[in-house]
Structure 1
Amino acid sequence: MDARQLDYFLAVVEHGGFTRAADALQLAQPSLSQAIRALERDLGAKLFQRAGRGVVLTSAGEALVAPARRVALDLIAAREAVASVVGLVAGRVDLVVQPAAVDAAGELTARFRLRHPAVTVRLIEPRRPPYLTRDLREGDAQLGLSYLPVAESKGLVVEPLREVEVVVVLPPGAHRPGEPMAVDELAGVPLVVGAPGTAWRELTDGLFTEAGITPTIAVESTFREAITPLITSGGLAALVPAALAPDDAVIRPLSPPVRRTLALLRRPGVLPPAAEAFLHTAKLHLQGREELRDKPPSPSLRPGVPPW
């Protein structure tokens, strides 16, 4: 078993079939099939079985996915470590992002790219519950961006970045815009909330539990983009970070005020140079920590412009 075979295996998993995987790898399909058969012989187990025009994982294949992804990330880290020694500009950051934190992810990535224009950043959405934490543990990404709390984060390193205010967002025409509002005033109000397992849902459930109220959930969504039309045209309400509130909705602060922390999460251990530089940039930008401003970036990640 070698790294090339694992790359091919993961390509078939990602694309759901040999033809699409071969196209993505720019490889002849017979060569890909031969490599997978060799991997199966080496492991002594079938990894895929036919399903219509595609393939699905066997139980042995499912068991291989997480270790293969970790190997792929370790190889990226190894290449970046060598690049830092020989002075090359190299690297890639894989960042899994909760839907509520998409705007912050764009903001941080833009800042990072100003400093490190040769580094590739891959922004991905969580694959399945428990959102984000499983993707980090299974090696889909080096970093995860989310508002806290995050389900099943035990054992992960949490790097707080900044606190944000949570507000009540109501449909246009609602009464008393700008006036503080208690959570219990939302009893019986139809809400749009995040899907179970998301940080957005954890926030909503936690606030209603503290208030001793059962929320009236009208829509569950993993899509941040659905918030605006569901509120402005659908007549629903939501509890969201202030930055996500639609411009034409009625916004009311919570009483007492509620704030949540935006954080980067990662597995324990040393990060690859590119991921470490991303974490450094995020802290510098969002925390405004003076002691970070004089710290130079990783030698393998020479900034394309002077520090701001």
Structure 2
Amino acid sequence: MDARQLEYFVAIVDNDGFGRAAQKLHIAQPSLSQAVAGLERELGVRLFHRIGRGAVLSDAGKELIGPAREVLRDLRTARATMDSLKGVQRGRVELVTMPSPGIEPLSTLTRLFARQHPGVIVGADAAFTPEEVVQKVRDGACELGLVGAPGSVLAPGVDVLPLESQNFVVVGADDAGFPEEDPVPRAALAGARLIASPPGSQMRRIVDEMLASGEDLEIVAEVAHRTSILPLVLQGVGLAVLPSAWAPLARRAGARAARIDPPSQLHVSLVSRSAPLTPAAQAFLAVARSYAPVDYLEQTT
């Protein structure tokens, strides 16, 4: 068994099949299949069940994926440690982020990090719940994760660095019945047409709280992809409740944004593996520790 075989095995899992994994690895699919078949022969077990053109992890494959990630992570750490003797000049930071923290503070953290370590790539995976972020970090798929949650993140197996609290705001176009008050009382949204995320998110919980209190609101669009919300707002489809990280972007695009009263906040934290981090991840964490929160509603550019 060698590192290349384990890298191929993990790539198939992460890319949901041999075809996409081969494209990601920039190798021919027959070569990938041959390498995995060799690993299976060496281990004496099947790692995948081939179903048509797809592949599903066998029980043995499920048992191998965790140790395989750890081995590859340790190899990257070893290489990066040698690089660190010359300073963190190259490498890659693997992190995972929820949608709103993926706008801010990720943009600012990446800008600050890139200034200090221009040769290091920041790779950002996506997740939609705090539990997904923590799981990816704990399993070793990523070293760092940005979480947005109603309160503090408490999870065994990861370290937590609180970064900032973002007020929720109402965002809308001028011609979409945007309230004149600032901050906007929730009662002032009576009769509003809202663009909402699906049930389960904190944004949706705020909308559901207003509905439960008897506010006359109409959900006109339910959007799973957060990146679709602002374009719908700009088209005048309706108003949206979003974390304040969206406010500068919304205003630059021509929309309005104001705090909601009574306030509600999204608490953003950076979680990291409790196991030793690569030098590149340690450097990113150092940047995060020096991060100074800002009031996004005060930003105009």
Normalised by the shorter chain, which TM-score bucket? 0.7 to 0.9
| Range moving further from structure 2, 238-247 or 93-102 | 238-247
- Which residue does 1:119 correspond to in 2? 120
The CA deviation at 1:136 is 1.4
Supply the AA of the counterpart residue of 1:160: P
Residue 168 (structure 2) pairs with residue 166 (structure 1): yes
Residue pairs, 1:209-228, within 5 angstroms: 209=209, 213=213, 217-228=219-230
Map of 1:56-95 to 2, 5 A cutoff?
Answer: 56-85=56-85, 89-95=89-95
For residues 237 and 175 of structure 1, the distance between their equivalents in structure 2, rounded to whole angstroms, comes to 7
Q: Among 247, 267, 272, which residue is 2:273 paired with?
A: 267
In the alignment, structure 1 segments of 5+ residues that lack a partner are 289-308
Per the TM alignment, residue 33 of structure 1 is displaced from its structure 2 partner at its CA by 2.6
Provide Cα deviations, 1:75-114, integer angstroms capped at 9, x if missing partner: 2222212322465733310111111122222222122111
Q: Secondary structure at the match of 1:238?
A: strand
Corresponding residue to 1:236 among 235, 238, 244: 238
Could you say which residue in structure 2 is the equivalent of 1:295?
A: none
Is the Cα–Cα contact under 8 Å of residues 168 and 252 in structure 1 kept in the other structure?
yes
- What secondary structure does 2:261 align onto? coil
Deviations 1:35-92 (A, max 9, x none): 3123223444322222333333334333433432333223222221232246573331
C-alpha distance in structure 2 between counterparts of 1:152 and 1:65, whole Å:
26
Task: Give the CA RMSD over aligned residues.
Answer: 3.3
The TM-score with structure 1 as length reference comes to: 0.77
CA contact (8 A) 2:49 2:55 kept: yes
CA contact (8 A) 1:69 1:140 kept: yes
- Provide the residue aligned with 2:298 in structure 1: none
- Say whether the 8 Å CA contact 2:149–2:268 is kept in structure 1: yes
Q: Which residue of 2 aligns with 1:282?
A: 288
Partner of 1:258 in structure 2? 264
Alignment partner of 1:107 is 2:108: yes
- Say whether the 8 Å CA contact 1:181–1:253 is kept in structure 2: yes
Deviations 1:251-301 (A, max 9, x none): 33222333433221122233221111111112323359xxxxxxxxxxxxx
1:48 aligned onto 2:72: no
Between the aligned residues of both structures, percent identity stands at 38
In the alignment, residue 244 of structure 1 is paired with which amino acid? W
Q: Residue 253 of structure 1 aligns to a residue in which SS?
A: strand
CA distance in 2, matches of 1:80, 1:21: 24
Aligned to 2:14: 14
Q: Which amino acid in 2 is paired with 1:7?
A: E
1:179 paired residue number = 182
Residues 186/87 of structure 1: CA separation in 2 closer, same or farther (3 Å cut):
closer
Aligned length: 285
1:113 and 1:152, CA in 2 relative to 1: closer, same or farther beyond 3 A?
closer
C-alpha separation in 2, matches of 1:129 and 1:196: 15
- CA distance in structure 2 between the aligned counterparts of 1:217 and 1:267, rounded to whole angstroms: 39
Secondary structure at the counterpart of residue 140 of structure 1: coil
* Residues 20 and 171 (structure 1), Cα distance of their counterparts in 2 relative to 1, 3 Å cut: closer
Per the alignment, do residues 256 and 25 of structure 1 end up closer, same or farther by CA in structure 2, a change over 3 Å counting?
closer
**SS of the residue 2:292 aligns to:** helix
CA 1:22 to 1:230, structure 2 compared with 1: closer, same or farther past 3 Å?
Answer: closer
CA distance in 1, matches of 2:229, 2:268: 19
Could you tell me the TM-score, scaled by structure 2's length?
Answer: 0.78
The DSSP-based 3-state class of the residue aligned with 2:168 is: strand
Q: Residue 149 of structure 2 aligns with which residue?
A: 148
Compare 32-41 and 91-100 and name the one that shifted more. 32-41
Q: Give the conservation status (yes or no) of the 8 Å contact 1:191–1:236.
A: yes
Match of 1:98 in 2: 98
Partners of 1:91 and 1:161 in 2: how far apart?
25
